[in-house]
Structure 1
Amino acid sequence: MGKFMDVAANRDYSKEWQAPGSFPWIFQRPKEPIAQREISVRDNYIRCAKGQQPYWMPAYFYESNIVWPDAMEEHPVPEVDGYDWWGVYWMMVESAGGMITKPDTRTITDFAKWKEEVEWPDLSLVDFKTDGQKIQQMLDPERPHIYECVEGIFERLHEMIPFEESLMAFYEEPELLEEFFQKMADYKIESTEKVLKYYGRVDGVLYHDDWGTQRAGFFSNEMFREQIMPATKRFLDYLKSKVEFIELHSCGKNIQYVPMMLEMGIDMWTPQLFINEPDYLHATYGKEMTFTFPLMLDPSWQETEIREAVRGFVDHFGENGRVMCWIMTENFNAEQEAIARDELYHYSLAYYNKLYGRE
């Protein structure tokens, strides 16, 4: 057992490990129950994610619970500067609100030597059972439970070696790259099995793999289809057999990959803000895929203006029943958010009752 896996194997998972204020810590916090709704919050969320005529438009994040295991050390635990169980060194960047790998990180000397040098985590050594019991206590049974599956198949490659070398492997070592991605898919399936076994009900999986820059995807569509899709689809096919829906987190202007996202069975995508055009996505793919789009509340808005903005959002994006509303305020204004959520529920409920003939 390597030194990084040794730390993970000997951690007391009955304790809370994440640093207060970090994303894992925020995601793990218990949420107040949601008042009685027309149907359960869980069932309505799944309806929206799968395009099955929801009763109201979900308020993204607020209406779900995230399953973020402390036992899955894809990042350092706690989430401060340090090593994950692959031996990758991570640094917290406060201005970005998250972690990045240390520049020029290298856990293998050369990609061509990954079979000899990559130290794969031995999951049998980790106390998922105790961690799962702890995490389950913080989950609301009325909300959908979504496993946050971070560090996707491509991301893990460029976390082990410099990014430019990862891209060169697509050209120089395509067969060896395919073997790596398929081996990583095996690992993703094995690790997800632990979550499904020990963390209670899991309704959906939020799979992370960033595929683009602010201008376009990293890969041509042909390269994506030939070298990213096969292993990714195999993992997603496994997920489809186990959970109700798959959501994708993929930063970058990745509109070009939406047809292939659909082929791989992805139900829902939360596109990176401000660089992917909501109107285009809604008009082009809105009947086939669920999207989360932001509703930005101006800090000067009073209740009347907030409610008017929410109604406009529903009128604009509600027609297919496949949009969730991500209510955003400056400095997490709880009062503005509460008003917006109230209007979102009541107005979209009436909207969908009329749309689907439930009146």
Structure 2
Amino acid sequence: MLTKRQNFLETIHGGKPDRFVKQYEALHLLMTPAYQAQNPIGVNSRGPAPGGEAVNSWGVTIKFVEGHPGPFPLHDDAHKVVKDITKWKSVVKMPRTDYPASDWEQYVKIAGAVDRENVFCTVGYFCGLFEQTHYLMGIDDCLAAFYEEPEAMHELVEFITEYELKYAEGVCKYLKPDALFHHDDWGTQISTFMSPAMFDEFYLDSYKKVYAYYKSHGVEIIVHHSDSYAATLVPQMIEMGVDVFQGCTTQNNVPDLVKKYGGKISFMGDLNNGVLDKGDWTKELVRSEVERACRNNGKLYYIPCLTMGGPGSTFPGVYEAVNEEIDRMSKELF
């Protein structure tokens, strides 16, 4: 029987996996001191607890409204960091990345305990280049600024890219990860936030720099999370060095993507949280959706997974039920 790591590699490289990869089983996620400052609640937290709020290292106020699936930035006039994109340099300050070795100790210890023969030691990066841009100013202002003030937007994106590269230096020096799990939501359920041409203009080169840095420093696998429609950006993902597009919702027509791009990139998702991860979820619905996804996408270049950007689910039991059904489909199809 292949290890989880071996089975993952066989799947994404078109080899001979002996079962479906079970969601995030092959990725052991860990964080960094800079990430903790960016999300100042705890080592493994992505922000404030339900009902709370916090200001992160970029000066963005994050609030977790009770009853919502996660925390979001506040963009009313009192909290928006960038109110005039032409004056962004006066208000946006780069968070520190020069953490001493002592601050890395607890993370190095966690990384050292990862069984790298069985799983990938995977560093997580949340709030990527596009998300960081609109976290600072709000999604409406951000999208308008691409048209109205492209020069200032190019400068801001380059500034955020510089931060990501400095962040990567510490990660690769101290943690030496095998894989990167990078978040950046690029679309809604029906479309991307920008055209491929606009994405190319503002983000493609930056992502090529960031992902090239990680790959030149020992990172074997890059998983990019965007739980949205992003089918029209798959060629860009391939060009920037993404190995796995995680979060690909059913609206992407994942079986078609597997047929068209399998061998150049793999797909991890096609089990929408909006369909399965809800208060009235049932095992019957989970069974039906997992079977559909596994049969339609096949054994290679596809990993059945909830589209959420990390192991777990909003409602208790959903993630585990999906795993059980993936095991069932492995017995049937392998």
TM-score interval, normalised by the smaller of the two chains: 0.7 to 0.9
Q: Which residue of 2 aligns with 1:241?
A: 216
- Amino acid corresponding to residue 114 of structure 1 in structure 2: W
Q: Which residue of 1 aligns with 2:309?
A: none
Q: Which residue of 2 aligns with 1:28?
A: none
What are the residue-to-residue correspondences of 1:1-359 with 2, within 5 Å? 38-69=1-32, 71-72=34-35, 73-78=37-42, 79-80=47-48, 81-104=53-76, 105-125=79-99, 128-136=103-111, 139-141=114-116, 142-199=118-175, 201-242=176-217, 243-294=219-270, 299-301=282-284, 313-319=293-299, 321-326=300-305, 331-332=316-317, 336-337=321-322, 339-347=324-332, 351=334
User: Is this contact kept in 2: 1:246–1:266, CA < 8 A?
Assistant: yes
Distance 1:62 1:179 in 2: 39
When residues 71 and 336 of structure 1 are mapped into structure 2, their CA distance, relative to the original with a 3 A threshold, is: same
Q: How far apart are 1:101 and its partner, in Å? A: 0.2
User: Is this contact kept in 1: 2:226–2:248, CA < 8 A?
Assistant: yes
Distance 2:185 2:327 in 1: 33
Q: How far apart are 1:332 and its partner, in Å? A: 0.9
Q: How far apart are 1:280 and its partner, in Å? A: 2.7
Distance 2:203 2:215 in 1: 18
Q: Which moved more, 1:92-101 or 1:259-268?
A: 92-101
User: Is this contact kept in 2: 1:70–1:131, CA < 8 A?
Assistant: no
When residues 344 and 245 of structure 1 are mapped into structure 2, their CA distance, relative to the original with a 3 A threshold, is: same
SS in 2 for 1:292: strand
Unaligned runs of 5+ in 1: 1-37, 352-359
Unaligned runs of 5+ in 2: 307-311
- Amino acid corresponding to residue 47 of structure 1 in structure 2: E
Q: How far apart are 1:195 and its partner, in Å? A: 1.9
Distance 2:66 2:28 in 1: 24
> Which of the two has higher C-alpha Rg?
1
Distance 1:117 1:299 in 2: 48
Q: How far apart are 1:239 and its partner, in Å? A: 2.2
User: Is this contact kept in 1: 2:38–2:56, CA < 8 A?
Assistant: yes
TM-score of the pair, normalised by structure 2: 0.79
Partner deviation per Cα, 1:155-199 (whole Å, 9 max, x = no partner): 111111132222232123323322222222121111122222223
- Amino acid corresponding to residue 241 of structure 1 in structure 2: S
- Amino acid corresponding to residue 216 of structure 2 in structure 1: S
- Amino acid corresponding to residue 328 of structure 2 in structure 1: E
Aligned length: 307
Distance 1:338 1:209 in 2: 25
Partner deviation per Cα, 1:106-140 (whole Å, 9 max, x = no partner): 22442212223321112214654123135336644
Distance 2:179 2:188 in 1: 26
When residues 343 and 76 of structure 1 are mapped into structure 2, their CA distance, relative to the original with a 3 A threshold, is: same
TM-score of the pair, normalised by structure 1: 0.74
Superposed CA RMSD: 3.1
Distance 2:289 2:189 in 1: 27
Partner deviation per Cα, 1:234-287 (whole Å, 9 max, x = no partner): 112212223111111123322111121112121111234343222332333234
Distance 1:322 1:63 in 2: 15
When residues 176 and 130 of structure 1 are mapped into structure 2, their CA distance, relative to the original with a 3 A threshold, is: same
Q: How far apart are 1:341 and its partner, in Å? A: 4.6
SS in 1 for 2:181: strand
Partner deviation per Cα, 1:17-74 (whole Å, 9 max, x = no partner): xxxxxxxxxxxxxxxxxxxxx2322232233344444343210113321123354133
Distance 1:323 1:247 in 2: 13
Q: Which moved more, 1:84-93 or 1:124-133?
A: 124-133
Distance 2:96 2:124 in 1: 20
Distance 1:335 1:267 in 2: 25
User: Is this contact kept in 2: 1:71–1:128, CA < 8 A?
Assistant: no
